[in-house]
Amino acid sequence: MRPLDRGLLFLYVLVANAAAILFLLAIGGWVPALNLLEFLSTVAVRWGVVAGLGVFFLVGLWLLLVSLSPGSRVGSLAVIDETPLGEVKVSLAAVESLVAKVVGSFPGVKEVKPRVIPTPQGITVEIRLLTTASVSLPTLAQEIQEKVQQTVKEVTGLDLNRVRVMLENVVTARPRVE
């Protein structure tokens, strides 16, 4: 959940709880709460209350959609084996670490930013690279794809659906000043 969604959830729960307390106090007969409810039901204020409740309803729908969306990757796991004793799973973060280690070992690779994306068709790996100009980029990309596919299969048992390699930048080696 993004920080904006968390802030909205905090405000939503705060307003919902305040409204619940207000209505409980009004039902209990507390006069200031009854006076406030009477004021909110006047014609001059009614449309403002209706607009506020409409916004409150829309925010609630938004938070419901965010909570049900599969966008959260924290603790996401992939089933790699089913045994009589149960499932064996590997976290997507572990696959990312493995990919970073494999790709970082290639000569000319200066920085690696892997991302593992679960899809209905399987697992896709996106690799963003920072390389030196001294390597053949098409050859390097193909070798990385093959090595990542092979290593992930050997170590985890997962078949990758796709391995995408994206070159973000090429750096030039600067001579040392001594």
Residues 40 and 104 in one domain: no
Q: Quote the domain boundaries for residue 10.
A: 3-68
Please give the biggest Cα pair distance in the chain.
Answer: 83
Same domain, 56 and 98: no
| Res 65 pLDDT > 90 | no
Give me the CATH number covering residue 103. Answer: 3.30.70.1350
Residues 45 and 98 in one domain: no
Identify the bridge partners of residue 117 per DSSP, sorted by sequence position. Answer: 124
Q: Which tens digit of pLDDT belongs to each residue from 29-43?
A: 888 888 888 888 887
Residues 42 and 100 in one domain: no
The yes-or-no verdict on residue 54 having pLDDT over 70 is: yes
Same structural domain, 165 and 94: yes
Q: What is the pLDDT of residue 14?
A: 92
Give the residue-averaged pLDDT of 47-71. Answer: 86
Same domain membership, residue 64 and residue 24: yes
Interacting residues of 162 by C-beta distance below 8 A, sequence separation 6+: 122, 124, 125
Angle at 46 between CA 42 and CA 48, to 5 degrees: 135
- Report d(CA 69, CA 132) in Å as an integer: 39
Q: What is the band of 48 on the pLDDT scale with cuts at 50, 70, 90?
A: confident
